[in-house]
């Protein structure tokens, strides 16, 4: 068995790739996702993974769909192709894929296992009285494999799809026409387990101790004994966990910088002072509100705001870095979802893309490969209090992307207060931890209200609360009406300038979590 098990998932823009990733990480198998066009076969060889999974895709191999280099089949690494991934294997190795109208399948389907395979042995949903073995699977395909390549055998199929599972046992190349990663395929996880543990010989060692050791080894390899590191503390869990780990290794050579940019949650400054003390971090506190508000004046475009905020942050960090000798590294609490969303170009998260190309410091992003739940587990190991670990995330550009239009200090004050009322009520009513992210948004419109005998023409505030497991998709939370009522009453009564509160009932997709 390999010591460093790793599965590489090559993504052909499938909506389900993230599910494969999550399943593997849940199985404690380390894995990385690459867009098929972002990594060469040589680079894959350098990583030396234990196995490769080719994802599905909305494309068709019959219609100029994405391809791979044939070299992928010569590197002696087990491959599992899922849906498009399987059709790609078939096409590249000389089989035939066709579009036959009667053979399309979307949704649940039943296939019969016809032959033995290491991938499927003893995995099934049902055996009937004639000893026929069935699997219930989730299909989503237009095209169908009509001829399998030489050296492959058809393991399972049905009337519409004769080649629903194919295998080349000698070279350890497998194809599934259906989606094992989707929960409707009941045996799906077992098939994935069989591939990673029995065929790729992975060991489930992606646990929190190993993650911690890997991160520490990486930092030790990179940061030399006199190097200093500067790190932006934001009050969020990602930068805090990053700081604690680096601090454990290099102590006072880590210089944390906390910048009050005027765009923070209520009492954030006090909280970060307390955390810094508790974890013995060497932190410089800087009040730079005016710098940020000046730079943001007259700016309404969200992406522009993000870029400006990112730039002012970096300018301040770099200015601070010049006060110390031997600062070589700029550390950030970037996590995997930041990287993936930035790659998808949905938004420029300042953690990832706000940095100018040439800051003169090397980037240190020790938790870049982790998801939020893994960061939380790490934090727990390092005694970060529960209420900090499970605090809702807060975006780097802060309130600036929750004030639609131009950002002003006066608006930030209102929004901060409204937000704290919303969060306080969620906490008081035992709802805070049932929600993954909740916040308020100030809209650039005014609406009529009435207080006593007076008409008022004041601001509109939106409430947003979502449930999500990975922040890539999200569902709005059905907060009880009486709680929403109480929140709206408190906000309108306690904040003069707000005359109307609305509740956002949009999922992601199609909407994003933040409004900008
Ligand atoms: P969206 O709005 O993209 O949000 O659905 C997904 C998650 O990312 C956070 N977010 C950001 N975080 N800088 C950040 O550090 C940003 O510019 C940014 N925009 C969104 C958002 O709060 C949610 O948790």
**Is pLDDT above 80 for 342?**
no
CA of 321 to the centre of ligand 1 (A): 27
Alpha helices in 116-261 (DSSP H): 188-193, 208-222, 237-250
CA of 344 to the centre of ligand 1 (A): 13
Task: Report which ligand 1 atom has the smallest distance to the Cα of 516.
Answer: 2
| Cβ–ligand 1 contact at 232 (below 6 Å) | no
Q: How confident is the model at residue 345 (pLDDT cuts 50, 70, 90)?
A: very low
CA atoms within 13 A on the CB side of 413: 8
Distance CA 145, CA 156 (A): 12
Q: What is the DSSP letter of 392?
A: P
Q: What is the DSSP letter of 480?
A: -
- Give the tens place of pLDDT for each residue, 431-451: 999 999 999 999 999 998 887
Q: What is the DSSP letter of 513?
A: S
Question: Quick one: pLDDT at residue 509?
Answer: 86
Question: Quick one: pLDDT at residue 451?
Answer: 75
What mean pLDDT value characterizes the chain? 93
- Give the tens place of pLDDT for each residue, 158-174: 999 999 999 999 999 99
Question: Quick one: pLDDT at residue 415?
Answer: 98
- Residue 424 falls in the annotated catalytic set: no
Distance CA 152, CA 43 (A): 27
Question: Quick one: pLDDT at residue 166?
Answer: 98
Q: How many secondary structure helices (H) and strands (E) does the chain include?
A: 15, 21
For 232, 257, 309, 315, the CA distances from 319, given in Å and listed in that order, are: 13, 11, 15, 6
- Best residue for ligand 1 mutational test, from 347, 371, 401, 407 (most atoms within 8 Å of Cβ): 347
207 by Cβ neighbours in 10 Å (0-12 / 13-18 / 19+) ranks as exposed
CB-based burial, 327-364: b 16+ in 10 Å, e otherwise: bbbbbbbbbbbbbbbbeeeebbbbbbbbbeeeeebeeb
Most confident of 149-163, 334-348, 349-363: 149-163
3-state secondary structure of 224: coil
What residue ranges define each of the domains in the chain, with the CATH number in brackets? 3-199 (3.40.50.880), 208-389 (3.40.50.620), 402-503 (3.30.300.10)
- Give the tens place of pLDDT for each residue, 33-71: 999 999 999 999 999 999 999 999 999 999 999 999 999
3-state per-residue secondary structure call for 493-507: HHCCCEEEEEECCCC
3-state secondary structure of 289: helix
For 287, 321, 322, 355, 359, the CA distances from 317, given in Å and listed in that order, are: 13, 6, 9, 11, 10
Q: How confident is the model at residue 360 (pLDDT cuts 50, 70, 90)?
A: confident
| Cβ–ligand 1 contact at 514 (below 6 Å) | yes
Distance CA 262, CA 481 (A): 33
């Amino acid at each position: 068995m390999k010591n460093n098990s790793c599965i590489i998932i090559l993504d052909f823009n499938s909506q389900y790739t993230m599910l494969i990733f999550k399943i593997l990480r849940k199985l404690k198998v380390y894995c990385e996702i690459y867009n098929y066009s972002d990594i060469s076969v040589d680079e894959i060889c350098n990583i030396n993974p234990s196995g490769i999974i080719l994802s599905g895709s909305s494309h068709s191999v019959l219609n100029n769909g994405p391809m791979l280099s044939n070299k992928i089949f010569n590197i002696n690494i087990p491959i599992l192709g899922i849906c498009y991934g399987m059709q790609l294997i078939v096409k590249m190795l000389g089989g035939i894929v066709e579009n036959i109208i009667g053979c399309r399948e979307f949704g649940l389907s039943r296939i019969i296992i016809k032959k033995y395979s290491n991938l499927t042995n003893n995995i099934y949903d049902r055996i009937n009285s004639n000893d026929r073995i069935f699997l219930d699977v989730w299909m989503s395909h237009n095209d169908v494999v009509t001829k399998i390549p030489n050296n492959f055998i058809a393991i399972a199929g049905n009337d519409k799809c004769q080649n629903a599972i194919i295998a080349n046992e000698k070279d350890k190349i497998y194809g599934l026409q259906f989606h094992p990663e989707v929960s409707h395929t009941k045996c799906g996880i077992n098939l994935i387990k069989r591939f990673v543990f029995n065929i790729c010989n992975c060991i489930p060692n992606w646990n929190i101790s190993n993650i911690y050791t890997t991160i520490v080894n990486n930092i030790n390899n990179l940061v030399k004994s006199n190097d200093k590191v500067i790190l932006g503390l934001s009050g969020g869990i990602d930068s805090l966990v990053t700081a604690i780990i680096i601090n454990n290794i290099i102590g006072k050579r880590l210089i944390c910088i906390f910048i009050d940019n005027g765009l923070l949650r209520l009492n954030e400054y006090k909280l970060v002072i307390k955390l810094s003390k508790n974890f013995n971090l060497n932190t410089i506190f800087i009040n730079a509100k005016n710098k940020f508000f000046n730079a943001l004046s007259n700016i309404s475009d969200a992406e522009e705001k993000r870029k400006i905020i990112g730039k002012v942050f970096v300018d301040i960090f770099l200015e601070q870095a010049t006060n110390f000798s031997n600062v070589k590294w700029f550390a950030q609490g970037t996590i995997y979802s930041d990287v993936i969303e930035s790659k998808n170009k949905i938004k420029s998260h300042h953690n990832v893309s706000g940095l100018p190309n040439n800051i003169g410091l090397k980037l240190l992003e020790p938790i870049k490969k982790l998801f939020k739940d893994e960061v939380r587990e790490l934090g727990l190991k390092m005694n970060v209090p529960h209420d900090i670990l499970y605090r809702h995330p807060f975006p780097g550009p802060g309130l600036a992307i929750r004030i639609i239009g131009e950002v002003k200090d006066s608006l930030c004050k209102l929004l901060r207060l409204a937000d704290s009322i919303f969060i306080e009520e969620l906490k008081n009513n035992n709802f805070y931890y049932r929600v993954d992210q909740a916040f308020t948004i100030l809209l650039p419109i005014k609406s009529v209200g009435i207080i006593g005998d007076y008409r008022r023409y004041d601001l509109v505030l939106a409430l947003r609360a979502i449930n999500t497991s990975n922040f890539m998709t999200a569902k709005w939370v059905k907060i009880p009406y009486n709680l929403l009522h109480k929140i709206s009453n408190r906000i309108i009564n306690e904040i003069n300038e707000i005359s109307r509160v609305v509740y956002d009932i949009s999922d992601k997709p199609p909407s994003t979590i933040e409004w900008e």
